[in-house]
Each structure stands twice: as structure tokens, then as C-alpha cells.
Structure 1
Amino acid sequence: MTAPAIVRPIPAPVPEGQDAQLRERLAGPAPGPMGERLVLLHFRGRRTGRDLEVIAGLHRLGDGLFIATGSRWRHNFAGGAHAAMTWRGRRRPVELRLVDSFDRTVAGYTHLINEYGRAGAERRLGITINVDRAPTDEEVRDAVRRCGLSLVEVRLEEESV
């Protein structure tokens, strides 16, 4: 049996302390180049009511900002929810909305894979590409369906003074 063209491997556990160091760096006033691509999302879990903070990759698609993820926390943003995002060392209010269009999600992942190239897409999207060419649209569709790949739209909100 042939392996699928794209898979989403289960991430390895982050070594003790490394996660806290990354969070601290992203929240600091000068996060460096990684502060452009990585953000901290601060939100309340819908079911648990707990305050959560996750590290996520931020991507530009057209004029919009998006988080590309297959993680379960994405469901908190079905229908949209207010949250906060620390980006470039600054915490700001945002609205996060899970993209509910399958075709729009496929188009977004296809664009990002082509823009980043194989190595960049694997690193920045948390996927493994098992073919030695750009995945076809059908292969991306299959991966989105099979792996639960999703996009969360980020809308920056006006800050109250």
C-alpha cells in the first residue's frame, strides 16, 4: 500500500522547559524573527472554561492572516470567538474564526505548500510530504479531509484606550 502524499505526524513532546522559554520569548518586547511567524493565542476553552495559551504559526493568505492547524483547540473558534494574540511581542485583541469552507481550506493549504516549498511547508505547517513533487490538488484535498487540516482566520480588533 502506498503512503498518502501528505500526512500530519503526531508532534513529539517538547522537552521540559523549552516550551516555557519559547512562550517567554514570544511574549517579550523583542521576540526576533520568530515573532513574525509564531504567535501566542490566549483564549477560554468552550467546554472546559479554562484559560488556554497555545503557540501557533501565523500565515498570510492574500490580505488576511490565518493559523493553519490540525490541533483540537481549533474547534473553539467554530462560528468565531474573541481572544487575544501576542504577535511581534505585543498582545492585542482578535477575533478568531474557524474557516468552514472545505474548498477554501484546500486552496489555502495548496497556496502555502507552493509558497513555502517542501521543506518550508513541512516545518511551518506540521505536515510530511511523501512525494518528490508538489502535491496535486486532489492530494491536498485528501490530506485536509483525512488529517483534519484547518485554517483559523485572524481578525485584528481595535484596542480600547
Structure 2
Amino acid sequence: MAEGTPAVVRRHPPNAVMKIVNPLMRRSLRRGRGKPAQGLMLLRFTGRRSGRAFELPVARQPLPEGLYVFTSSPWRANLRGGADVEAVLDGRAVPMRAELIEDPAEVADLYRRRFAEVGVKGAGRLGVKLNVDREPTPEELADAARTSGLSAVRLTERPA
């Protein structure tokens, strides 16, 4: 790794690719069919200020205590302070409460725990690129949370 290069950086496909892939993924995830649905879900919510309806294909990150989404995308700001959302899991709409987690130490711990399960080769599934050939340290993950905006969204089921 070159000096000054962070160990962990945000990874996001080019916007042009997302404009083609997202509509296809939305359709597939609504039905809950096929291999593309594995590990993914739709997250639906309303923008806090704009009132705009969001329906985003996102990678679901299961941990023993619940379901998470890892992101550094701007839409996450709509979930600050908590928000009611709907998650489409395997074609089934589930009402949930979303809580945005931005504390670098807490974000680092969540990422570290998922890395323990998916390994270095699974970094792309966590929305990051590694510039090291090992699992990142908690300090490197916390640094990425501070500099790249890595965060997590905790999802908990709520009554319908």
C-alpha cells in the first residue's frame, strides 16, 4: 500500500451502470425470485424534506442481533434520527424502523464483525475496497467511517 493511501475506501459502481442495473434489480427484488435476490433487498422510504419516494436495491448485512445496511450514499441522511421504512425481503414487504449509525467506532465494529464472516474477498459486498491484503483493523475502519462517510443502518421490525 502506498504511503498516505487509506486501507479502506468507499466502493460504488459508476452512476451509468447503476441507471441500468437498479431498475432491473428493483423488478427482480419485488418478485423475490432468483439468485439476484439472495443477499439483496429493496429499501423503501420517503425523503425527509423532499417527500420523494425512494425504492433502493441494497445489500442486506445480517448480524446476530439484527439486519443492517452498510452505505455511504447520500440517501442515508433521510434516516437520521430514525425513520419508518419498508424492506422487501424475498418478495415480502416488511414494515421496519431504520436507525442511521454514524459513530465511527460503532460503524467500525459492525464492519469488522461482517468482515469476520465474509472475509477479505467479500469486501465488495460490504461496499468497500481494500488497499491491503488482510482484514482491516478497527482503526482503519473507523478512519474510513470518518473520511468516506461509511455508516450503517440498523433495521428492526415494527408492527404493520
Normalised by the size of structure 1, how large is the TM-score? Answer: 0.89
Identity of aligned residues (%): 36
Letter in 2 for 1:69: T
8 Å contact from structure 1 (residues 70, 148) kept in 2 = yes
| Per-residue Cα deviation, 1:34-79 (whole angstroms, up to 9, x for no partner) | 4241111111101211111111111112221111111111111111
- The verdict on how the C-alpha distance between 1:139 and 1:17 changes in structure 2, with shifts beyond 3 A counting, is closer
Listed as ranges, the gaps of 5+ residues in structure 1 are none
Of 5, 8, 11, 1:6 maps to: 8
Shift of 1:116: 0.8
Give the match for residue 75 of structure 2. 73
> How many residue pairs end up in the alignment?
157
Residue in structure 2 matching 1:50, options 44, 52, 63: 52
1:10 and 1:40 map into 2 onto residues whose CA distance is 17
Q: Does 1:21 align with 2:19?
A: no
Provide the alpha-carbon RMSD of the alignment. 1.7
Separation (CA, whole Å) in 1 of partners of 2:49 and 2:18: 28
Which amino acid counterpart does residue 159 of structure 2 have in structure 1?
A: E
TM-score normalised to structure 2 length: 0.89
3-state SS, counterpart of residue 131 of structure 1: coil
Q: Distance in 2 between matches of 1:17 and 1:142?
A: 32
1:141 corresponds in structure 2 to 142
In structure 2, relative to structure 1, the CA distance for the partners of 1:32 and 1:63 (3 Å cut) is farther
Question: SS state of the match for residue 119, structure 2?
Answer: helix
Q: Does the CA contact (< 8 Å) of 1:36 and 1:87 recur in 2?
A: no
Q: Are positions 1:82 and 2:84 aligned together?
A: yes
Does structure 1 retain, via aligned residues, the 8 Å contact 2:86–2:93?
A: yes
Q: Distance in 2 between matches of 1:10 and 1:18?
A: 13
Which of 98, 101, 110 lines up with 1:99 in the alignment? 101
Q: Which amino acid is the alignment partner of residue 150 of structure 2?
A: L
> In the aligned structure 2, how far is the partner of 1:91 from the partner of 1:51?
15
Stretches of structure 2 that go unaligned for 5 or more consecutive residues are none
Deviation at 1:31, TM superposition (A): 2.1
Matching residue of 2:63: 61
